């Protein structure tokens, strides 16, 4: 069911049953087909047992076996037809699931994928990428699994039990009541211990997740493991988690086996009791041989079905629990969202106005307060120690985070009043993080402009000297760069990152020391290319090398979440304050890591 609450920023329900209506409502005809064929298939055992009863009764009454085939021919034909109907009806739910499950699964994955990408940076800081991916996959997998196997088993099991109770009642109400009492006791025992079983299962699942988290962590740091020669240490470190999961597994399985033993003993007592009653009723002439065979064969089938059906309720509860857990993690209110009827940002000049901005991280103590005006086409350097507020400043302009108060304007358009998509389409960013997609070189460059022509990609690549990388790769631009671009060096990845920004050609450019991973020769080439690219753009450059600042129109000095100095390179040197001391203390052109003493 699609939630129509206008205050909500998505249409994905946050509860399992709401999600079920939302996902399956377009498939009502297939759901009906699923239910009908499942119900038909549940009649098989009852009807077969009844037909066998009739055959046994006829055989018991016949004196001349030569006429047996003629008498029971129609019953044999009905048994064959019943098998045919059963096979077709048994495949009905399979076919319905085949038609629905892939569509529903893709719908859930795609909807979750899109929604997760709308979350703020805080969400991704609190939820690792692997965990998010696992929860999306678990939600889609468990949700579609519930629809098929456990559901069909429960529907068939309940219908078979009801038919069995009614059928046996015609032969002996006592036997029918006995079956009902056994089923109730059997269910009560299962329910009584189900919470305990779930506790053991949860403990085991937690240990399992913990174990595989440690494995992923170790593998992702495989380079460090090899460099420090710590394979034996990692194996020993993992062993305690392996021992923990082994202990949890044994506890869970031992408890389940004990419950199964109790249930099996209860079933054995019940079957023995029924056989004694059947013998007594037969000796008293109350039932026929066929009735005897009918009740006994039916009981063996139905009791087994009841046992398996009750187990499926636990499976469904576990699946629903996993789905709800994934929904609670993934579908939380968006911190940053477009206002209703948000317009597209139109950048004609590139002026940036920052008025009375106040920001504070949810778990931080520092206040960030900014007031600043950046005219169109101005090149502004941002300087300060780590944590001084430079990255926060640009992230607020990008709306990676939302301000607590104050406003940011681009060409007199408040960025909270325009769509996030249009805002970010008008800003190119070259970051220090040069991670790439596990895709081809061409696809990674083209990410800056999806509809770019081959010529445009080639021009951007040459400007960033990526064409040199392509020539060294076996498939050129069609070569895969590996996970996070690990088939390339840090400098090569940065070149691709720069080519992508050049291709995007947005009117506002943000650069976070883009050449820090490059050798001196390549750095000079690319810096020249970036300088040319910056000519007709408003630019913000986070500088770690002070040599890049001399060419800036203006420099902003940050400290403790505030802009404490503002001016050109020469002006700031003449003032002799923080910037001058930073300049004097830089080593090899880099900003020192520790804050200088102003005394």
Over 70: is that where the pLDDT of 123 sits?
Answer: yes
pLDDT of residue 8: 45
Q: Where in the chain is the domain with CATH 3.40.50.300?
A: 340-426+506-599, 436-504
| Mean pLDDT, all residues of the chain | 84
Q: How far apart are CA 148 and CA 34, in angstroms?
A: 9
Q: How far apart are CA 226 and CA 482, in angstroms?
A: 20
Q: Which fold has domain 340-426+506-599?
A: Rossmann fold (3.40.50)
| 374, 397, 417, 422, 561 from 359: Cα distances, Å | 19, 12, 18, 23, 9
Over 80: is that where the pLDDT of 522 sits?
Answer: no
Pair 560, 547: CB distance under 8 Å: no
pLDDT of residue 405: 93
Taking Cα atoms as reference points, which of 388, 404, 385 lies closest to residue 396? 404
Taking Cα atoms as reference points, which of 238, 207, 243, 212 lies closest to residue 225? 238
Share of the chain above pLDDT 70, in %: 93
Q: Which fold has domain 16-330?
A: ABC transporter transmembrane region fold (1.20.1560)
| 95, 154, 353 from 146: Cα distances, Å | 15, 11, 53
Taking Cα atoms as reference points, which of 488, 234, 507, 481 lies closest to residue 352? 507
Architecture of 436-504 per CATH? 3-Layer(aba) Sandwich (3.40)
Q: How far apart are CA 478 and CA 306, in angstroms?
A: 57
Q: How confident is the model at residue 105 (pLDDT cuts 50, 70, 90)?
A: very high
Q: Residue 6 is encoded by which pair of tokens?
A: 């206008």
Over 90: is that where the pLDDT of 562 sits?
Answer: yes
Pair 505, 449: CB distance under 8 Å: yes
DSSP string for residues in 241-297: HHHHHHHHHHHHHHHHHHHHHHHHHHHHHHHHHHHHHHHHHHHTTSS-HHHHHHHHH
Query: Which pTM was predicted?
Result: 0.76
Q: How far apart are CA 143 and CA 139, in angstroms?
A: 6
Mind listing the pLDDT tens digit for each residue in 22-35?
988 899 999 899 98
Q: How far apart are CA 389 and CA 366, in angstroms?
A: 10
Q: How far apart are CA 323 and CA 455, in angstroms?
A: 47
Q: How confident is the model at residue 4 (pLDDT cuts 50, 70, 90)?
A: very low
Over 90: is that where the pLDDT of 557 sits?
Answer: yes
Over 60: is that where the pLDDT of 50 sits?
Answer: yes
Mind listing the pLDDT tens digit for each residue in 563-572?
999 999 889 9
Taking Cα atoms as reference points, which of 323, 3, 332, 335 lies closest to residue 136? 323
Q: How confident is the model at residue 396 (pLDDT cuts 50, 70, 90)?
A: very high
């Amino acid at each position: 069911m699609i939630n129509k609450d206008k205050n909500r920023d998505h249409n994905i329900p946050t509860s399992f049953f709401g999600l079920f209506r939302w996902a399956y409502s377009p498939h009502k005809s297939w759901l009906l087909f699923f239910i009908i064929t499942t119900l038909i298939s549940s009649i098989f055992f009852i009807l077969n047992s009844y037909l066998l009863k009739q055959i046994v009764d006829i055989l018991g009454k016949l004196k001349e076996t030569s006429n047996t085939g003629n008498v029971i021919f129609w019953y044999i034909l009905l048994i064959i037809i019943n098998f045919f109907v059963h096979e077709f009806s048994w495949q009905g739910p399979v076919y319905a699931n085949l038609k629905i499950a892939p569509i529903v699964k893709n719908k859930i994955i795609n909807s979750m994928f899109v929604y997760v990408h709308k979350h703020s940076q805080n969400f991704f800081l609190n939820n690792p990428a692997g965990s998010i991916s696992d929860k999306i996959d678990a939600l889609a997998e468990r949700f579609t699994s519930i629809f098929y196997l456990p559901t069909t088993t429960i529907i068939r099991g309940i219908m078979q039990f009801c038919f069995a109770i009614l059928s046996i009642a015609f032969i002996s109400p006592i036997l029918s009541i006995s079956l009902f009492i056994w089923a109730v006791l059997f269910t009560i025992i299962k329910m009584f211990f189900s919470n305990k079983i779930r506790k053991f299962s949860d403990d085991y699942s937690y240990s399992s997740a913990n174990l595989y988290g440690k494995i992923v962590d170790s593998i992702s740091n495989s380079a460090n493991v090899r460099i420090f020669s710590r394979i034996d240490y990692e194996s020993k470190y993992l062993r305690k988690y392996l021992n923990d999961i082994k202990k949890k597994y044994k506890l869970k399985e031992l408890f389940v086996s004990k419950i199964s033993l109790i249930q099996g003993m209860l079933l054995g007592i019940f079957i023995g009791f029924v056989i004694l009653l059947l013998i007594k009723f037969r000796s008293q002439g109350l039932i026929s041989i066929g009735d005897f065979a009918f009740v006994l064969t039916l009981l063996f089938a139905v009791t087994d079905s009841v046992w398996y059906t009750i187990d499926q309720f636990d499976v469904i509860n576990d699946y629903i629990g996993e789905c709800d857990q994934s929904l609670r993690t993934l579908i939380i209110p968006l911190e940053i969202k477009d206002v209703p009827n948000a317009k597209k940002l139109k950048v004609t000049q590139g002026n940036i106005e920052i008025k009375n901005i106040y920001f504070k991280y949810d778990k931080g103590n520092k206040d960030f307060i900014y007031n600043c005006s950046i005219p169109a086409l101005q090149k502004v350097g941002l300087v300060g120690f780590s944590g001084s507020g430079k990255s926060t400043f640009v992230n607020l302009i990008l709306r990676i985070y939302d301000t607590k108060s104050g406003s940011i304007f681009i060409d007199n358009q408040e960025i909270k009043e325009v769509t996030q998509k249009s805002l970010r389409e008008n800003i190119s960013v070259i970051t220090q993080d040069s991670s790439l997609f596990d895709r081809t070189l061409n696809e990674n460059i083209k990410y800056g402009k999806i509809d770019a022509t081959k010529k445009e990609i080639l021009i951007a690549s040459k400007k960033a000297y990526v064409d040199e990388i392509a020539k060294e790769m076996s498939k050129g631009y069609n070569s895969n760069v590996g996970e996070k671009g690990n088939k390339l060096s840090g400098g090569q990845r940065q070149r691709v990152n720069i080519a992508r920004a050049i291709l995007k050609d947005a009117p506002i450019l943000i650069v976070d020391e883009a050449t820090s991973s490059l050798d001196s020769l390549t750095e000079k080439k690319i810096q020249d290319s970036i300088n040319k690219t910056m000519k007709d753009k408003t630019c913000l450059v986070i500088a770690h090398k002070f040599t890049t600042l001399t060419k800036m129109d203006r420099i902003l000095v940050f400290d403790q979440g505030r802009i404490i100095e503002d001016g050109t390179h020469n002006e700031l040197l003449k003032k002799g304050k923080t910037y001058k001391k930073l300049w004097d203390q830089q080593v090899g052109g880099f900003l020192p890591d520790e804050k200088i003493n102003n005394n």
